[in-house]
Structure 1
Amino acid sequence: MSSMIADDFEPHRPRLFGLAYRLLGSAEEAEDAVQDAYLRFSSADRAHIEHPAAWLAKVVTNLCLSRLTSARARRERYVGEWLPEPVVTSDGALGPMESAEQREAVSMAMLVLLERLTPTERAVYVLREAFGYGHREIAGVLDLAEANSRQLYRRAVQRVGEGRPRFEPAPERQRELVASFLTAARDGDLAGLEKVLAADVTWTSDGGGKVSAARRAVHGRDKVGRLTLGGAERFAAGLTFTPAEINGEPGLAAWAGDTLFGTVAFEVRDGLISHVRSVLNPDKLDFVRRQLARP
């Protein structure tokens, strides 16, 4: 019986994880929410579940709404800058990444912007933008009026659109920029770094108070260049860097032996690196470490 339940549930798991991650910004909590949904599915009378995909989406969404309230309180007490848990997206963990819009939807920049929204606004926005739900479907998932769903969506679009990132259309150019950035950092080449950094570039580090990291974002080409060279001098000699697509963006995974030290994601705008986001908090690296450890 349990194997039959699992067989019925497993085809839905990737989509449910993608939904939960977009709502929570945490891969670990998304996995927990999906597992909780599985437990509810396994104990439910499935003869009365006419559309399992819709039923499960509603369960996961509401589980995430409950988690978002406590997550917001934790983030208010968070030490330093908060970034979402990184996810490798080249393996399809968050769905296809074939277009700039698909990459933008799971970028760290977008997930940080979604923190501006109330939990319900965020749910409406994600269901509409990422999963193509109509407002009647969203109203059914969230138990609200269709007109209210439309209103919440308009408000969310306005609030997110104020800082919405712009993506370059050529991923290969982005990867070339990251390779040039890494070479210049290793060589201590400040001039080389400045060639690939935008004048208003920002570096955001998330150490969560667990490891050494700048507690405020660093702005400007000169400051980010010097921060990069200082970090390379202090840490990079003992690290190995491997390329990885992090949240739809070109990135690097930094390894200290077999231990994942952190991830770095690069946002590119107008042909230059405009934002660097490094996640160093070890509590946020377990999921991406498991992804990168796969053969």
Structure 2
Amino acid sequence: MTRIAVNKSINLAKSARKTREEYYGPWIPEPLSEELEAQLERKEQVNYAMMVVFERLEPKERAVFLLKDVFGYSHQEISDLLDISVLNSRQVLTRAKRIIAKSDVQTVREVGADRSMIALFVKSIEDGNIAPFIEKLTSEATMQIDGGKRRQAPLRVLHTPLRIGAFLRGVAEHDFFGDSRELRLIDEQICILIKENGILVRIIFLSLNVEGDKVQSVFVVTNPDKLKKNLRNCVTFLMADLSY
């Protein structure tokens, strides 16, 4: 069953690449629904920041990393599952870890740090002064907003605190932050649920740097299709990100 799931996920990841390349605007993974998340073993989950980093890995790199570091398979077991040598499995894992390290984001659950930074973001919104939050962005911070064709959003990734701050100040006047906000734990991270008239309109995740004292990335999911869909297969989701 594991071999079937892994091979199917790798094939789906390969075919999904073209779909993501043709996607309208920035593409980021769909948040895992709270209902499905509650059914999973916490030790087998990764946070939202990690799912975004997975997009930089080749399908086989993603599979080896998940099997070894998340599910605890040995290199011998991985070589049998993927029909590669033990040496190749080690090399693929090294490559994957090198790419993950370059992302400079926390890829483990740090709820305390997340909660503190999210609280600062919400307070900045409530006070109508986004400056305190902008000061917490790293010099190379990025912001990605996934609206697909369903919601208006920048078609490119925003880079640097200057541009992110300008965008946030601009959209604050247009109900970007809704009329109510809730903090929830989704995909092993505290996030902000933005609602208008009780309807969920976007989810905001913050990814911290490795030190945990600055925000490296801001991810905003506002595509209605991604907000309402429930994923049926966790393993396939983790390895192939079937949300587009």
Report the secondary structure of 1:285's partner residue: helix
**1:164 CA drift (Å):** 4.4
Structure 2 residue ranges without an equivalent (≥5) = 232-244
- TM-score, reference length from structure 2: 0.80
1:230-275 CA-to-partner distances (Å, cap 9, x unmatched) read 2222024743211012332221111223432111001223423332
Asked if residue 220 in structure 1 is aligned to residue 160 in structure 2, the reply is: yes
Aligned partner of 2:29 in structure 1 is 84
The correspondence for 1:271, drawn from 213, 232, 244, is 213
Aligned partner of 1:108 in structure 2 is 48
- TM-score, reference length from structure 1: 0.67
Aligned partner of 2:224 in structure 1 is 282
Report the secondary structure of 2:17's partner residue: helix
Aligned partner of 1:66 in structure 2 is 11
The correspondence for 2:114, drawn from 168, 171, 174, is 174
% of aligned pairs identical?
30
Taking the aligned partners of 2:47 and 2:110, their CA distance within structure 1 comes to 16
**Structure number with higher helix proportion:** 1
**1:134 CA drift (Å):** 0.4
After superposition, the Cα gap between the structure-2 partners of 1:284 and 1:130, relative to the gap in structure 1 and judged at 3 Å, is same
Q: Which amino acid aligns with 1:65?
A: I
Taking the aligned partners of 1:209 and 1:283, their CA distance within structure 2 comes to 10
Aligned partner of 2:238 in structure 1 is none
| Bigger radius of gyration among the two | 1
1:151-162 matched pairs, under 5 angstroms: 151-162=91-102
How many residue pairs get aligned? The number is: 228
Aligned partner of 2:236 in structure 1 is none
1:147-168 CA-to-partner distances (Å, cap 9, x unmatched) read 3322322232233333242369
After superposition, the Cα gap between the structure-2 partners of 1:170 and 1:59, relative to the gap in structure 1 and judged at 3 Å, is closer
After superposition, the Cα gap between the structure-2 partners of 1:124 and 1:274, relative to the gap in structure 1 and judged at 3 Å, is closer
Does the aligned pair in 2 maintain the 1:83–1:108 contact within 8 Å? Answer: no
Taking the aligned partners of 1:114 and 1:169, their CA distance within structure 2 comes to 16
Higher RCO (CA 8 Å, separation ≥ 6 residues) = 2
Taking the aligned partners of 1:132 and 1:168, their CA distance within structure 2 comes to 16
**1:288 CA drift (Å):** 6.4
Taking the aligned partners of 1:215 and 1:190, their CA distance within structure 2 comes to 23
Aligned partner of 1:45 in structure 2 is none
Deviates more, 1:142-151 or 1:77-86: 142-151
Structure 1 residue ranges without an equivalent (≥5) = 1-55, 290-295
Aligned partner of 1:96 in structure 2 is 42
